[in-house]
Structure 1
Amino acid sequence: MAVSDGLRVILKGHLDWGKCRLDCFIGMLLALVRLKHVNLTQLALAFTSQADPKSRYRRLQRFFREVVFDYDAIASLIMEMFGLYDQSYYLTLDRTNWKWGEKNLNILTLGIVYQGTAIPVYWLVLNKQGNSNQRERIALLQRYIRQFGRSNILGVLGDREFIGDQWWQWLSDQRIPYLIRMKDNQLMTDQRGYERPVRSLFANLQAGKTRLLRKKRRVGQQWVWLSGMKLNSGELLVLAGNQRFDQPLDVYGLRWEIETLFQCLKGRGFHLEETRITHYFRIKKVMALLAIAFCWAHKTGEWKHKAIRPLRTKKHGRIEQSLFRYGLDHLSDLILHGLSKTENLLKLWVLFICPPDIIGFDKQKPEIMVPKV
């Protein structure tokens, strides 16, 4: 039995595609894990088929041109892969962008903060250069809430791009906490009615020190809690929230995990920026392929770190290798060299579908995966 047979059974329960299209998607997924590269020309070479490389390449092109993706189903699959339905978590928003020729590629991504990275659940390809607008952010969060509700959201984290009265008011109306960084020259109005830049509230702050203001200030039309930290570089980091966080700087630090996700999708993983696909709807489909591959690799790295060989922690407190890369290398090695063993096929399937916290291993045969009872 081939590894694609098990993946087909798993994915058929989520993606409403026929066998031919499922097999094409699975073939690309396995080729992506083998090569660690999303360029279609390269994927066609690693795509298992009796057809010649040009025919394989045209098949992949047709897939991204013609196949309809259900992004709600893909988001549900990703949530199930990590067992996130019953957990509470922070959401983080950010964009990744690059340029191919004269074409600007700009993807707004919503992720769940998770173990040093962000799990991508929804993304919006912006058909423009530059920042997202308030309407686009609201639309992305609305789609998430329609599918998964708001009860598990601890807060939304975002960088200086994600400010705006309409956006902040919408989050407050939805009873969703937010913690957003502001520009230090952003004007605020204090309780006496004076308007001045927010940096004036932290003017005498020393490097490495933080300050949490005890009273709300008005920014635009929103009354928010402000906190600040003077970085060692001398730059001032100012945060605004619609509720008071006990440790706002620590919470905001989780926002950086989406940057780790982008690094994994790009230079440290699948080289997204080297794709030659630039069409709005097709690059969104490429992101779906990468999101599933990323989740599979990260889950594998979690399992291997806990159950087989823990990664060494360096002096700076971080592990020697990311869980994503640890898992990706393991999957790649299995697919390239280890599929002659039935237990390795079982391992790939279980790693794909079971949440990491219910995956165990037989201590007598640590190479064989078995679900915990």
Structure 2
Amino acid sequence: MIRPSAALSHVDTFAAYLKERLPHHRSDTLRRLTEVLFGILQAESTLHRKIAVHIHRDATPSSILRLVARTFHETDLTPQDVTDVLLPLLPTGKLTFVLDRTNWKLGQRDLNLLVLGVALGDVVLPLMWKVLPHGGNSDMRVRMLLVGLLLKRLPARRWAVLIADREFVGQEWFSFLRARQIKRCIRIRENTVLDEDPARHYFQNLKPGEVRELLERVWVYGSWMRVVATFSPQGERLLVASDLSLWNTLTTYRLRWGIECAFSAMKTRGLNLEQTHMTQPDRLSRLFGLLSLALAWMVRVGAWRAGQQPISTKKHARPAISRASYGRELLCPALRWGKTTFYTYLDLLKSPFPAPERQKT
């Protein structure tokens, strides 16, 4: 049996938690944000009409639907606000960051977000993002903006390394990171010039399963860097330029997959970001911010649950379920049925993630 009174008290409790993190926001605004956040988690959808079904208010369905729309149209929830909530969740010490894009289409319209997040085990938690006004690759200035904004909150001494795919290359970009003392682990294209020759010339005889490193650092996009090559699981030649050692380069670059897991949990295999019909950048940014909060909560509960009951592995040695889905299985019923376990899950959201295990080289 549904317990509306308990569900409503959960909304007020969570809104009070947000008020502690975001004191400059009005209490009624944070309560509406909480109602929509809970609706997204329960509906596993970003469609307004599906979110509205899970909001308990003494109002007509059309009024609740308008409330959901106003939350995205008018609420001033910025990426910096979301970062204020998420920073206390980060473990102490140096952190690994990942930069990537996620994009999809709504009709003929390109929806494209550049995301900078922190690696926490098998998932990357978004901390900064920017909705791009076009399809395709990001502009170098936008990348610098995201890194610069996060550096104001997390100084360079907290950055172990920045990981990025081969889209994120260029001399000005590499020099920007070096000047800010951020170590790089970035995939490069096969036609990238190393010293005077294309990178593919150095690794023409590379075989599947083989790992090869150039004996000396080479000049890559205006920097002396180490270049390591191997084959990806898809059979592509993988060239990575980094400021790390040979084996640390490869083990670190593998962490980039965590941002794909995060996008998957926020999109088709989780909260269905792609279902949204919103296309205006500010509204889409608010939605992504709420999904980032939801993802953090799901993963935090999932990590706690995995500590008590480890996730089983399949024959191919991969986990049978992601930590985000593992957490959502507990979190959603607690919100839907007003369970007292909600308070346990909220306490988890108030405490930092355990430090990620060190990667074996």
Counterpart CA distance in 1 for 2:231 and 2:72 is: 47
Matched, 1:73 2:74: no
Partner residue, 2:124: 118
Matched, 1:203 2:204: yes
Q: Which has the higher contact order (CA 8 A, sep 6+)?
A: 2
RMSD: 1.8
Aligned-residue offset at 1:356: 4.3
Work out which of the residue numbers 21, 32, 40 in structure 2 matches 1:14: 21
Letter in 1 for 2:200: R
Query: Matched residues, percent identical?
Result: 28
Aligned-residue offset at 1:167: 0.5
Letter in 2 for 1:149: P
Aligned-residue offset at 1:337: 2.9
Partner residue, 1:351: 348
Alignment of 1:1-373 (within 5 A): 2-15=9-22, 16-80=24-88, 82-84=89-91, 86-189=92-195, 195-231=196-232, 234-307=235-308, 309-339=309-339, 343-357=340-354
Aligned-residue offset at 1:31: 0.9
Structure 1 stretch displaced more, 171-180 or 69-78: 69-78
Counterpart CA distance in 2 for 1:171 and 1:357 is: 28
Counterpart CA distance in 1 for 2:232 and 2:348 is: 41
TM-score, structure 2 normalization:
0.91
Letter in 2 for 1:26: T
Aligned residue pairs, count:
347
| C-alpha contact (below 8 Å) 1:208/1:232 kept by paired residues | no
Structure 1 stretch displaced more, 60-69 or 270-279: 60-69
Aligned-residue offset at 1:161: 0.3
Counterpart CA distance in 2 for 1:12 and 1:109 is: 25
Counterpart CA distance in 1 for 2:56 and 2:276 is: 20
Aligned-residue offset at 1:299: 0.7
Letter in 2 for 1:336: R
- In structure 1, runs of 5+ residues without a counterpart are 190-194, 359-373
Q: Structure 1 42/6 Cα, relative in aligned 2: closer, same or farther at 3 Å?
A: same
Aligned-residue offset at 1:122: 0.7
* CA offsets 1:201-238 (integer angstroms, 9 cap, x no match): 11111111011112122234333211111346552111
Q: Structure 1 260/131 Cα, relative in aligned 2: closer, same or farther at 3 Å?
A: same
Counterpart CA distance in 1 for 2:349 and 2:153 is: 22
Structure 1 stretch displaced more, 38-47 or 109-118: 38-47
Aligned-residue offset at 1:296: 0.7
Counterpart CA distance in 2 for 1:128 and 1:357 is: 37
Letter in 1 for 2:50: Q
